[in-house]
Amino acid sequence: MASLAPRLRQRRKAARPQELLEAALTLFVDKGLAATRTDDVARLAGVSKGTLYLYYASKDELFKAVVHTYLVQVIAEGTDLTEQFDGNSAALLRLLVHTWWARVGSAKASGLVPIIMAESAHFPELAQFYVDHVIEPTHRLLGRAVQRGIDRGEFRPVDTRMAVLALIAPVHFLVMHQHSLAPCAGSLTDMAPETYLDMQLDLLLNGLTAPPRP
């Protein structure tokens, strides 16, 4: 009996950082970085304010940890389906975009993106971090898929970088709006995000697709 208590404690202790990050994510996304009080984060995590500082040296560090956990790690986990996929490349791109949307874009964590955008001016370290761990890997992943399409003669030999950006832009646009203007603007949001993504992919793939060989 007595031997179980410490183990339970340890388990709770080990869970602390996760609970704090979860609470911080919720509040940062909900109220913004400046408007979120460390008090509230601690309370929502069910610990005292002092405990928060036991795990994270400052509010900024906490924010960085949240970004790391909920954006970077998720991206890192993002399996590159390109190698083992054996359908056509248009289908691969559709799959990649929808998978990303399902796992990241539609998750609460995507609410961090507008914050990062707004704060990166005075948070260059964070911006670099985001570029290195989110932007670059995503570009590489999508880049390989586009290149595959070109290699296989499915796509025209376009500038790969541009095609990647053309894939990313609507996704980025969607994420930003979901967390900012969606509640105000009807025209965009009266459509399911998945539909929007599909239609944007339609347009783009139509531009990418190589004409049938005569």
| Positions in the binding site for a second copy (CB under 8 A) | 29-35, 111, 114-122, 124, 127-128, 130-131, 135-136, 139, 158-159, 161-163, 165-166, 168-170, 172-173, 176, 179-181, 183-185, 187-188, 196, 199-200, 202-208
Kindly give the interhelix angle for 89-100 and 193-208, rounded to the nearest 10 degrees: 150
**Residue 57 binding result from a second copy, DNA, none, given CB thresholds of 5 to 8 Å by partner type:** DNA
**Residue 38 binding result from DNA, a second copy, none, given CB thresholds of 5 to 8 Å by partner type:** DNA
Query: What minimum distance in Å lies between the beta carbon of 179 and a second copy?
Result: 7
**Residue 180 binding result from DNA, a second copy, none, given CB thresholds of 5 to 8 Å by partner type:** a second copy
* Residue number with CB closer to a second copy (18 or 54): 54
Task: Label residues 43-57 b or e (16+ Cβ within 10 Å = b).
Answer: ebbebeeeebeebbe
Report how far apart the first and last C-alpha atoms of the chain are (Å, whole number).
79
**Residue 12 binding result from DNA, a second copy, none, given CB thresholds of 5 to 8 Å by partner type:** DNA
Cα(123)–Cα(5) distance, integer angstroms: 42
Q: Which stretch binds DNA (CB under 7 A): 5-13, 86-94, 105-113, 159-167?
A: 5-13
**Residue 17 binding result from DNA, a second copy, none, given CB thresholds of 5 to 8 Å by partner type:** none
Cα(59)–Cα(5) distance, integer angstroms: 32
Residues 9-68 that bind DNA (CB under 7 A): 9, 12-13, 16, 36-39, 47-51, 53-54, 57-60
